[in-house]
Amino acid sequence: MTDILVTAEVSGAIGTITVRRPKALNALNAEVLRQLLDAIGRLSDDKAVRVILLTGEGDRAFVAGADITEFVGASPADALAISERFKRVTNALTGAPKPVVAVINGYCLGGGFELALACDIRIAATTAKLGLPEIKLGILPGGGGTVRLTKIAGSSVARMMTMTGEPIAADRAYALGLVASVHAPEELARAAAALAEQLAALSPFALAQLKSSLNIAVDADTESACRAEIKAFALCYSTADQEEGAKAFLEKRKPVFTGT
């Protein structure tokens, strides 16, 4: 029987994915990645779920990196397969048609940091440590870390973090724009729930279009990105949620978005 290393739980409109290898600091291996991909897919397809939270079990680690035992004796072909497998997971996070929030409750290193960088929003405990230490193993990030970190925090920060391999504290990550907010460890779950509830109250169609537009903005030229935004904006006017949002504003009440 396969061990359950990743769970996907649903409460109302909020889905929570948890990596459950606390004794290994929630380190990633092939089976964790397989279960992660399955969990992301299931919650992405669940129309009742409007927001996805991603975290690690316990209070020591979000995901402390890859399981290094899988690296020993690996060939270049093995390494390529590992990266391709990981890329499918990060692409699933980025491509999910709903907001994905990384709830960083401890060590967030290597592949764990790359997972977090693929999420839409990152919030962290004050005790969290974030970094890409692969250079200390004689390798470099292979899950999109150099690319996403450069785009989010800029070339200078990316070079400093990847070339030294030294992690940074949560407050420094906040100052660099790598996390959106920082909370005391005992307040992190409450903050995550509040953020998830806030997002879940919004129009899921508009959020999906917004996420798509933001993803395009990262890679496309300005004109192409603006065209994509205009199209997404126009599509929102095909929904009942748009009508509800306008009426609620004029009637000075909170809108009730149904996802239609």
| DSSP at 179 | S
Active site residue 134: yes
Hey, how many other C-beta atoms are within 10 angstroms of the C-beta on 169?
Answer: 16
Q: How far is CA 169 from the centre of its chain?
A: 19
Instruction: From the candidates 134, 187, 197, 229, give the one annotated as an active-site residue.
Output: 134
Instruction: From the candidates 31, 84, 114, 223, give the one annotated as an active-site residue.
Output: 114
Annotate 92-155 with DSSP letters as a single string: HHHH-SS-EEEEE-SEEETHHHHHHHTSSEEEEETT-EEE--GGGGT----SSHHHHHHHHH-H
Q: Which of 217, 219, 241, 218 is nearest to 230 (CA)?
A: 217
Q: Rounded distance, CA 87 to CA 143, Å?
A: 6
| DSSP at 177 | T
| DSSP at 28 | B
Q: Rounded distance, CA 2 to CA 254, Å?
A: 46
CA angle 49/20/180 to nearest 5° reads 60
Active site residue 243: no
Q: Are 40 and 93 in contact (CB under 8 A)?
A: yes
Classify residue 86 as exposed, middle or buried by CB count within 10 Å of its CB (0-12, 13-18, 19+).
buried
- Bridge partners (DSSP) of residue 182 are 124
Show which residues are catalytic. 114, 134
